Amino acid sequence: MARPASAIVNAMSVDVEDYFQVSAFDEVVPRASWEGRESRVCANTERLLALFDEAGVRSTFFVLGWVADRFPGLVRRIADGGHEIASHGYGHRLVYEQTPAEFREDVRRSKAALESTTGTRVRGYRAPSYSVVDRSLWALDVLIEEGLEYDASIFPIYHDRYGIPDAPRHAHVMTRSGGSIVEAPGSTVRIGRMNLPIAGGGYFRMLPYALTRWGINRLNDVESRPAIFYLHPWEIDPGQPRIKVGSVSTIRHYRNLHKTEGRLRALLRDFRFSTIGDVVIGPVLPSSAAAEQMWA
């Protein structure tokens, strides 16, 4: 297939979780019920793998340890396809609802499940629902101590559940008391005094595709920066079982599920993509020095 002319390679990522594991369903879907629910994560992830293979794209897959323990063959198929395996935690618990000790155990359990399945070291982590916020920045210290090289859990926007609006917009090194870690934030474009999210997920489904395309083009062509894009396997599955939840969460979860696959095909046609490890970790951007001082 024809590839875009831009020399900028963006980062593609997938948060591998099932439709019933999203944070918005925590109050109506008890974790004790997960085992008894219809699982669709394998079929949906396999569909994404096929789309990426068709487009010649490698991606980072942030896999829940819970998923890895139950479907190790899926994790091996992702790795065998040349994709990067990273951690999405074990039980999809929001970071700021855990103690540091609980978070450390969750990270260790997930990392062990993924590494034992693939035989390769896990370098990256993304928190469920971008839940590294101002009050949970201590999580970065835990990640450093547990040997993670990069984090992709900070979204520099205003949101009712997550976000650090004044965080640096681009990949940078964050130096903490115990060491350093690369932060790979969700992508935004700066409009006036606000950051507009163009990183994927619900924004990709609910807003016109033209806005995503405009935003990534702006990052690539005006700022000479790569975008860091994300989505979930359940977002290409309009046939998933419906869960009764509040109106806001219903809109956020179910809106335009039937459009995601077509939009993803367009995205893969319009832009170049590879893994976060390839795009971000090697060429850490030179603006990181100021960010280190700000967030240390």
Q: What mean pLDDT do residues 53-72 have? A: 98
Token pair 């490698």 in the structure block, residue: 58
Domains: count for the chain: 1
Distance of CA 165 to the CA centre of its chain: 18
Of 11-25, 27-41, 156-170, 215-229, give the lowest mean pLDDT range.
156-170
pLDDT tier at 283 (50, 70, 90 boundaries)?
low
Question: How confident is the model at residue 178, as a pLDDT?
Answer: 87
Phi, then psi, of 145 in degrees rounded to 5: -65, -30
pTM as predicted: 0.93
What pLDDT sits at residue 295? 35
Q: CA 95, CA 133: separation in Å to the nearest integer?
A: 9
Does residue 3 sit within a domain? no
pLDDT averaged over every residue in the chain = 92
Residue 7: is it exposed, middle or buried by C-beta count within 10 angstroms (0-12/13-18/19+)?
Answer: exposed
Cα distances (Å, whole numbers) of residue 182 to 9, 87, 131: 18, 15, 17
Q: Are 61 and 78 in contact (CB under 8 A)?
A: yes
Query: Sign of torsion, CA 192 285 287 157?
Result: positive
Q: What is the mean pLDDT of residues 37-50?
A: 98
Residue 291 has pLDDT above 80, yes or no: no
- Contact between residue 249 and residue 194 where contact means Cβ atoms under 8 Å apart: no
1 occurs within a structural domain: no
Provide the pLDDT for residue 215. Answer: 97
Query: Which single residue is written with the structure tokens 């210290």?
Result: 141
Specify the range with the lowest mean pLDDT, choosing from 42-46, 156-160, 175-179, 191-195.
Answer: 156-160
Does position 139 have pLDDT exceeding 60, yes or no? Answer: yes
Give the percent of the chain with pLDDT over 90: 88
- Domain assignment present for residue 2? The answer is no
Over residues 33-47, mean pLDDT: 98
Percent of the chain beyond pLDDT 70?
A: 93
Q: Which domain holds residue 214?
A: 9-295
Angle at 252 between CA 250 and CA 258, to 5 degrees: 90
Mean pLDDT of 108-124: 97
CATH number of the domain within which 261 lies: 3.20.20.370
193 pLDDT above the threshold of 60:
yes
CA dist 38 to 35, 42, 155, 214, Å? 8, 11, 31, 37
Query: Above 70 in pLDDT, residue 285?
Result: no
